[in-house]
Amino acid sequence: MSQRIPDRVDPRRLAREGQTLSGSLPLDSLPRLAALLQDATKEADFSLRFGRDRERRFTVDLALKAELVLECQRCLESMVLEVDTHTPLALVAGPMEAEQLPAELDPLTLAAEEYLDVAALVEDELLLAIPASPRHADAECSSHLKEQQNPLAERENDNPFAILAKLRDGENHN
């Protein structure tokens, strides 16, 4: 069940209490992410489970689900990227402490005031989930389908001198 999540939380206190926060955030409330989306009207569902691991480190397990509508970089049409991630995080004081974490934990460094900005954490994870060049799967991309329908055009485009050869041949006939 979703609850009203404060903008900032004290992760150490929540970890000592073994609390879990879950909720939804409108994608249009995440400005860095919304700028990359073609449709920011959807929501991201998240769950933050606070606790401690066997080494007594403060941990946050972030589970996140969202549908991001992006622009395919191949055909420039809309595509949906399904995000369903689980990220185990450990609170760290700095880079030295982060280097000592086991591989299964990602570092989470807090700002000077020691509070966790929930929306910023969700937004960061969603941004990390977006590939550098989002594209449809080959079977779904209209650009790729057009290339398959006209393989001859693709071969001509592979040769940068094909157009020059056509021009030269056209001049020889005059």
CA 92 to CA 60: how far, in whole Å?
Answer: 11
Total number of domains in the chain = 2
pLDDT at residue 160 is higher than 80 = no
Q: What percent of the chain has pLDDT over 70?
A: 86
- Do 115 and 155 reside in the same domain of the chain? no
Do 164 and 89 lie in one domain? The reply is no
d(CA 56, CA 165): 71
Q: Looking at the structure, tell me whether residues 150 and 105 fall in a common domain.
A: no
Question: Is position 93 within any domain?
Answer: yes
User: What are the tens digits of pLDDT across the range 6-54?
Assistant: 889 999 999 999 999 999 999 999 999 999 999 999 999 999 999 999 9
In a domain, 1, yes or no: no
Residue 121 phi/psi, 5° resolution? Answer: -65, -45
